Amino acid sequence: MIANNLKRLINQISRYEYEAGRQPNSVLLLAVSKTKPASDIIAAYQAGQRHFGENYLQEALQKQRLLGAFDISWHFIGPIQSNKTKLIAQHFAWVHSVDSFKIAQRLSAQRPDGLPPLNVLIQVNISDETSKSGIQLAELPELSQRIMELPNLRLRGVMSIPAPEVDYANQCKPFRQLHSAVTALNQQAFDTFSYGMSGDLKAAIHEGSTLVRIGTALFGARD
């Protein structure tokens, strides 16, 4: 089932890239494996998937221990508490959920020598006023300038989780707003727009996503 889902998702991504007039392979698929067992990750890996996203640190570390022999790029996508930054800096290649300078500073200071810079994204709260995660769009220019000066981080762009919408046009709106605001910053270092999940994949790709985070459509519903 997971291999079939992966194949279908890769085909969908290609089709949406084409429909949107985008380059083939300009959108990376991140497999979001939170709450799913390591055996599901292995099934996706054997079908060719290499990038996996986790939200909960202890759960992620447990899976990483089981899967140490696999060539996986691990992405941390959940909320970050200060006391978790050290393990995140040690055990991940990407962090999508940076939403303060303090967290960025800790990640940079705690990134082990000998590892490449940690790829980070700033989480922007684009439509969901009730959620505490993510900065406001207006804060992005200043925070990105400050984070770019940190030595052991590589700021790659932004991540967002808009409020769920069923209607396609309503799904597009926040993505378009974020994409045009970030593009207007003209920040050469930014090459990553992390948005789009199982329910809004098409809208996200049409509105410039370069990285979609897919859980349910790949691994099935979570309990």
Ligand X SMILES: *Cc1c(COP(=O)(O)O)cnc(C)c1O
> Where along the sequence are the contacts to ligand X (CB under 6 A)?
32, 34, 55, 77, 161, 197-199, 213-217
Beta strands 118-123 and 153-159 are parallel
72-80 long-range CB contacts below 8 Å, 24 or more apart?
72/41, 72/45, 75/30, 75/51, 77/30, 77/32, 77/53, 77/159, 77/213, 78/34, 78/54, 79/55, 79/133
Residue in the shown chain whose Cβ atom is closest to ligand X: 215
Return the number of the residue (55 or 152) whose C-beta is nearest ligand X: 55
Structure tokens at 54: 């986790």
Which value, in Å, is the radius of gyration of the alpha carbons in the chain? 17
Nearer to ligand X, 153 or 214 (CB): 214
Residue 91 CB, nearest approach to ligand X (Å): 18
CB of 77 or CB of 103, closer to ligand X: 77
In the bound complex, what is the minimum distance in angstroms from residue 221's beta carbon to ligand X? Answer: 8
Nearest distance, CB of residue 66 and ligand X, angstroms: 20
Nearer to ligand X, 152 or 198 (CB): 198
Helices 57-66 & 38-46, crossing angle to 10 degrees? 60
For the bound state, the minimum distance from the C-beta of residue 112 to ligand X, rounded and expressed in Å, comes to 25
